[in-house]
Amino acid sequence: MSKTWKHDITRCQARKPDGRRCKVDDVKPGHKFCGHHDTDIVALFRIPEKCIEIMTGRYPKRHHPACDRKGINDCECHTYSRGAQVMRTIQKAVKDSASALPLYRNKKKLEMRIKVKKIRNYYNETTEAELWLPYKPGFRQFRFFVWDDKQERVVVRVIKDNIKNKATLLKWLRKLAPLHVYYTTSAWMNPQGVGPDPNGKRGRNKFRKKGWSYRMKNYHNVFLWQELYFDVDYCNADYNEGARTLEKLALFLGENQKKYGHAPLGTIVFSGGKGFHYVDNMWRIDNVLSDKEKKEYYQKDLGDKQLANREWKEGLIDDVRKADILIDYDVTPDPRRIIRLPGTVHGKTLRLCKIIKHEDFIFDEDRNVIGYNPDDPIG
């Protein structure tokens, strides 16, 4: 009993972005947070230099939205000045102190309940005709990000039902009222049981944590195919940068259509949040391989097929990077990436993720894309 009491008293009170509490349980007496999260107002007044040092070490740069080195910080992005870091530290201290208060948590819980109610009402009025599914949805894994009122955080639910049609999708949308809905960009033989990448970092350990035998790695990773996806994210209100980058990307792919096996017209998706997705639903790696390369490809092991897809798309991304087109470079070559499902609600903005046409953008007098006007949030 005393051990449990001590653990509760000395455990760090910080919560991660997903709502989970920090696991460090050796916090010093009189402190609420561990050394990694000790950036609240009390710590700021006690040792301001240490708080600034923590923030500088954790977030040293103002990264471009398309930067793929955010966790490593070895890129050429702008470094925050000393003054900017001081202001960011003060803002973080106020936020951390407020988040530890019961009033703040109750306020957040109430806001999430209202948001979930709006989303549920929207899906109850939605028809199957307003939804969208990718090609062969029965070979895709669908993940719903759902608000858990008891845990006071967002939890990820892998839908074990095989969603082959819009009726099944609508049933789950109405049942769970998810904040976010994603699907896998790759098709899998056993989509509900897709496991960790056996060739990835700590793949064997991840299998052990799930209680799966590593010998069953192929059963949980039968890769079939993957289309071509591009993610264009920019944090600006009128979407002008994202819209211009999207047009630049479409022109680049159109000019190199034979080389990349790209369809003349790709699908444009407004994410409902910061930007757009550009998708070629008919792309297959067969489109870019010679007869000899196709024969070698289909003789490869299951894991090698994933690797072959990744390597080819990494070459494409290198060309996109050289053309100075700033997108999220990690999304396209990753066979295990998930992407937002059109026809569903974006849980942060309450705007609809939907397929749009080129004519939906805003143009200047010379017919150059200069922005996009999204629909109003639901509710």
Taking only the tens place, the pLDDT of each residue in 146-188 is 999 988 889 999 999 999 999 999 999 999 999 999 999 999 9
pLDDT at 4 over 50: no
Closest CA to 182 of 347, 339, 24, 345: 339
Residue 221: other Cβ atoms inside 10 A: 23
pLDDT at 346 over 60: yes
Average of per-residue pLDDT values in the chain: 86
Binned at pLDDT 50, 70 and 90, residue 38 comes out as: confident
**pLDDT computed for residue 96 by the predictor:** 82
**pLDDT computed for residue 216 by the predictor:** 65
CB environment 278-289: b (16+ within 10 A), e (fewer): bbbeebebeebb
* DSSP string for 242-307: HHHHHHHHHHHHHHTHHHHT--SSPEEEE-SSSEEEEEETT--GGGG--HHHHHHHHTS-HHHHHH
Q: Domain ranges for the chain, please list them.
A: 2-102, 122-372
**pLDDT computed for residue 24 by the predictor:** 80
Residue 127 backbone phi and psi in degrees, to 5: -105, 165
Instruction: For residues 244-248, give the mean pLDDT.
Output: 91
CA-based end-to-end distance of the chain: 48
Percent of the chain with pLDDT strictly greater than 90: 41
pLDDT at 337 over 60: yes
**pLDDT computed for residue 5 by the predictor:** 42
Question: Architecture of 122-372 per CATH?
Answer: Alpha-Beta Complex (3.90)
Q: Longest C-alpha distance within the chain, in Å?
A: 74
- Between 193 and 342, the more confident residue is 342
Kindly state the tokens that stand for 9.
């008293």
Instruction: For residues 232-256, give the mean pLDDT.
Output: 87
Separation between Cα atoms, residue 329 and residue 8, nearest integer Å: 42
Give tens-digit pLDDT for 41-63: 888 888 889 888 888 888 888 87
What pTM does this model have?
Answer: 0.86
Question: Cα 3 to chain center, whole Å?
Answer: 39
Separation between Cα atoms, residue 343 and residue 119, nearest integer Å: 12
**pLDDT computed for residue 230 by the predictor:** 94
**pLDDT computed for residue 19 by the predictor:** 66
Kindly state the tokens that stand for 358.
């080129």
Separation between Cα atoms, residue 206 and residue 18, nearest integer Å: 20
**pLDDT computed for residue 2 by the predictor:** 40
Residues recorded for the chain: 379
CA atoms within 13 A on the CB side of 300: 18
- Between 379 and 177, the more confident residue is 177
Separation between Cα atoms, residue 98 and residue 34, nearest integer Å: 17
**pLDDT computed for residue 1 by the predictor:** 37
- Between 245 and 303, the more confident residue is 245
pLDDT at 314 over 50: yes
Give tens-digit pLDDT for 262-309: 777 789 999 999 889 999 988 988 888 888 888 888 887 766 788 888
